[in-house]
Amino acid sequence: MGRISADLVDPHGTHLADALPKLRSLAEYAQAHGDAFGRIEAVAEIEGQLRVLDMKNDVVQAGVHAAQNAESLYKAAPAY
């Protein structure tokens, strides 16, 4: 039988000084509680396109922890 799950979609920006710390906190939350959600994503508009970070993805989580700034993360993310 199917399962109902909640999604976490967090609108972010890169213009504030706390953008990267917030992404790191969301990555840590996804590591600890990701199984309770269908998806956990951070979304930002970069150069007129929406970019999405899949925070449940291990590679994305590692990238967030290694990043020097939030904008570089979003520029590497898929555009919609």
**Which residues span the domain enclosing 42?**
6-75
Residue 1 lies in a domain: no
Which pTM value belongs to this model?
Answer: 0.91
Of the pLDDT bands very low, low, confident and very high (cuts 50, 70, 90), residue 2 is: confident
pLDDT confidence of 3, banded at 50, 70, 90? confident
Say if residue 68's pLDDT is above 90.
yes
**Each residue of 22-38: pLDDT tens digit?**
999 999 999 999 999 99
How many domains are contained in the chain? 1
Residue 77 has what DSSP assignment? S
Could you please report the per-residue DSSP string of 35-59?
GGEEEEEEEEEETTEEEEEETTSHH
Is 26 part of any domain?
yes
Q: What percent of the chain has pLDDT over 70?
A: 100
